[in-house]
Chain A
């Protein structure tokens, strides 16, 4: 069983090339997705703050 796992990890002696290729692809794709979602949340927060700011200023004007 261990031999099969070791053989799989070694990848016929080409593990140095195969595993980095898969790691780079996974990091690249997940990173792209993660940063896009984070940016969306950030922009939503800015919009919410801006709306609050505008509504406060409108109320102040009405009071004045």
Chain B
């Protein structure tokens, strides 16, 4: 897959064809998802209408974890097989991941205040997600910390791999420690604990978020490919002039 798409011309050709459909699906799922979340889905018997925050909070949290896992996998590919496109993909995904982490933290805070009476508590789930935010920041900072881009890519990739330990910690934090945050409602051994009237908008919003993330990822990879090309042209131009 990486070898097939590593050619910039082929990458642009494939993604240019798929982009309109992906963007259309993102718009479609988000539109239906928002209508279902705000109008069709019922209020919760305990939380009332505040449960509607779940439809933006939970998909944001999933995306934050999913994108970090993607970064860790592509970083591993970049380190093991020295594939420049892998590092590039990881670098392109980081701003998307950090945006979803910020969305997860802020919407969670807005949900926490009416439910727990506090905007923030230092419980295991919230603290580990905050740590994820700092991992994203560190990854992005390390990528730009060196004059030689390859050194930055390698350092950031190592951080991404070390930080991957935080992903299962986030997932199981609600089981391993006594937290104010509720335990898992979907990925449980005895099946989801959410009624289908709430599950449907949740999945629609999650699909919308996934398609948006794909569109933005493709755009950002194109930006980085162009930046690399411009850098190389400037270096070669400089050599010609000297």
Contacts and interface: CB of A to CB of B under 8 A. Distances in A.
A64 B220 CA distance: 41
Given A21-B111, A22-B38, A47-B226, A36 B60 contact: no
A12 to B, nearest CB: 4
Contacts of A8: 38-39
Scoring B39, B48, B107, B240 by chain A CB atoms within 10 A of each residue's CB, the highest score goes to: B107
A39 B223 CA distance: 7
B53 interface: yes
Contacts of B233: 47, 50-51, 54
B215 A33 contact: yes
A50 B111 contact: no
Interface stretch (B71-79, B96-104, B196-204): B96-104
A54 B234 CA distance: 10
Contacts of B48: 12-14
Contacts of A25: 56, 60, 103, 107
A19 to B, nearest CB: 9
Interface string B200-242: 0000000001001001100110110011011001100100110
Contacts of B107: 21, 24-25
Scoring A11, A20, A22, A36 by chain B CB atoms within 10 A of each residue's CB, the highest score goes to: A36
Contacts of B240: 57
Contacts of A32: 95-96, 99, 212, 216
Interface of B: 34, 38-39, 43, 48-50, 52-53, 56-57, 60, 95-96, 99, 102-103, 106-107, 110-111, 113-114, 209, 212, 215-216, 219-220, 222-223, 226-227, 229-230, 233-234, 237, 240-241
